[in-house]
Chain A
Amino acid sequence: MKGKFEAAAIRGVGIGLRAEHYDHIVENRPDVPWFEALTDNYLSSAGRHLRYLERIREDYPVTLHSVGMSLGSTDAFNMDYLSRIKQLAERLQPAFVSDHLAWISVEGKYLNDLMPFPYTEETLIHMAERIRRVQDYFGRRILVENPSNCLSFRFSTMSEAEFIREVATQADCYLLVDVNNVYVSAMNSGFNALEFLGALPAERVKQFHLAGYEDRSDYLFDTHGYPVHDPVWKLYETALERFGPVPTLIEWDTDIPVFEVLMAEAHKAEECLREVE
């Protein structure tokens, strides 16, 4: 079903759309260039969330970001889930549709969390094929995001950055680089974040995510419940220098603050973006 919206390119710094801010956005129409909706919250055919999203879409471009495609899973695709995303995308005409390089299900049982996988040739071929199939079904390229990792597999045969570069090339998809996740994984796994960014194919990087991690002394945990930390801002500046003024999202998922806090984070990111525009 074709909707009433036309696809629009995005630029600048968007904000993750959360239910806590629906009324504020509708009533005040804040100066935000675009919003990213968590796709999974809008897959019903009706209801309050979808009503708000459609209302907000009237005023802003949106992107759709999901967690359930299970691109690394060895299960068959959940076609009901994919078809709902496809319908939603046709209705809202988002600038981008994205999900994660992860798996969440096996034998039809879902863990509903982003699970890690080994960086091997087998996984690479498998995931690239799955991404291609999703893109064929949607009739559009998708963006895939690097998750944060708290463990690695001893038998991986390539680095995460090599894996992402290869999977993007083989699948012919775009990349959503979560700068916070790069930093968290680099600190946790001991790789060089700058080398990681340097290994990614610049022409495929179409969006950044920025968020806050939690420092648990032994390791960093990707909670999305804090302001963006200073080292992540620095890494973001480096990423902008390498990839250019890529549309960037301020993401906040736990202990969600008032909208003004997100706006302040977005303004900081805008200042960084302007430096490279």
Chain B
Amino acid sequence: MELRELQKLFHEAVFNKGGEAERKVCSLIEGAGGLQPESAFALYRGSILGKFQRALRATYPVCLKLVGEEFFNAAARVFIDRYPSRSPDLDDYGKDLADFFDGFKPAESLPYLADVARVEWTLHSISKEGDAPPFDMRQLAAVRQAKWGNLIFFLPENRYLLQSDYPLDRIWRLATSQGVEREAVNLDEGHANLFLWRDRDGTRMEWPADVEWRLLKALDNPVPFATICETLAMEDPEVDVARLFPLFVQRGWVSRFELEDRVEPGKA
């Protein structure tokens, strides 16, 4: 048998226990020690599936806590069958779990689960990215006041803005806190806004109020500050930029700025 055919057969046999591919593979191998071929092959299958299971459990501890061991393991097994790994790095495995939960019938009674998975994947992903340097106040002080309207402020480079239809903040806190598991969350409580970013202390997780969220969304585009202020004053006066913006800088939600004419087209 050619090497490529053998490798395809091996892969198929891993995911089809007891199938024709496994029968063929076992006819080609001898088990180690006193093992039958089926038992020897099962060692490889167990090792592979175990690695995928452990990768999912490590990346999605909050989902695991919300649904429990039995449900998570069963869902993971279905996921592993449907979503092959596409990267040599096991750390990349599981990106699609949120989409999987969206269409996973047994999880229908937990409509927020996919959003929780999205947050966990983002936490996992941005932990490997760069940290935002602290905002340079001295550099800002050096800009003439007349030019401030032309400044374009940037959110941290590794950031993530997510709005969920569900009270994700309450769900998250309940799932990650000790001793308050019995407190019920009413899914009709309303939506939640989430802002994730990295600073030098690691990944930061904030749940902005609605007015804060709208200013964050405005700042998420490379637009001169004067334009943001004018637009919000006209269309969304509830957003008090003068009050909120200094708070954003203080919290590290704004990481840097450039003068309008120094921004390359399309570069945020």
Contact = CB atoms under 8 A, between A and B. Distances in A.
27 contacts: A43-B89, A44-B129, A45-B129, A72-B3, A74-B7, A106-B7, A106-B8, A106-B11, A107-B8, A107-B11, A116-B44, A118-B3, A122-B2, A150-B31, A150-B32, A150-B43, A151-B29, A152-B29, A153-B30, A154-B29, A154-B30, A188-B33, A189-B32, A218-B33, A219-B32, A220-B33, A221-B43
B41 interface: yes
B10 to A, nearest CB: 6
A253 to B, nearest CB: 12
Contacts of A123: 3
Contact of B128 (A49, A105, A220): A49
Interface in A85-139: 103-113, 115-118, 120, 122-123, 126
Interface string B12-41: 001000000000000011111111010111
Given A40-B91, A111-B48, A150-B40, A74 B34 contact: no
A106 B30 contact: no
Nearest to A68: B88
Contacts of B52: 112
A113 B47 contact: yes
Interface in A219-261: 219-221
B2 A46 contact: no
A71 B52 CA distance: 21
Interface residues of B, number: 44
B89 A109 contact: no
Interface residues of A, number: 53
A13 B191 CA distance: 56
A148 to B, nearest CB: 9
B86 interface: yes
B31 A46 contact: no
A151 B84 contact: no
Contacts of A104: 88
- Report which residue of B33, B34, B40, B88 has the largest number of chain A beta carbons within 10 angstroms of its beta carbon: B88
A81 interface: yes
Contact of A47 (B4, B8, B128): B128
A117 B37 CA distance: 15
Interface string A192-229: 00000000000000000000000000111100000000
By Cβ-Cβ distance, the 6 closest A-B pairs, closest first, are: A68-B88, A188-B32, A46-B130, A44-B128, A219-B33, A74-B4
A68 B93 CA distance: 13
Given A110-B84, A123-B3, A154-B30, A46 B93 contact: no
A70 interface: yes
B90 interface: yes
Interface of A: 40-41, 43-49, 67-70, 72-74, 78, 81, 103-113, 115-118, 120, 122-123, 126, 149-155, 185, 187-190, 218-221
Interface string B36-65: 010111011001100110010000000000
Contacts of A111: 11, 14, 48, 85
B139 interface: no
Nearest to B30: A152
A48 B10 CA distance: 36
B6 interface: yes
Interface of B: 1-4, 6-8, 10-11, 14, 28-35, 37, 39-41, 43-44, 47-48, 51-52, 55, 84-91, 93, 127-131, 202
Contacts of A48: 127, 202
Nearest to A47: B128
B30 A112 contact: no
A106 B40 contact: no
Contacts of A152: 29-30, 32
Question: By CB atoms of chain A within 10 A, which of B28, B29, B51, B93 has the most?
Answer: B29
Contacts of B47: 113
B11 A153 contact: no
Nearest to A42: B128
Nearest to A51: B131
B88 A70 contact: yes
A149 B32 contact: yes
Contacts of A47: 127-130
A164 to B, nearest CB: 17
A112 B91 CA distance: 10
Contact of A115 (B10, B31, B84, B85): B10
Most chain A CB inside 10 Å of its own CB: which residue of B7, B35, B87, B130: B7
A108 B85 CA distance: 8
A182 B40 CA distance: 18
Nearest to B93: A112
Nearest to B42: A150
B41 A110 contact: no
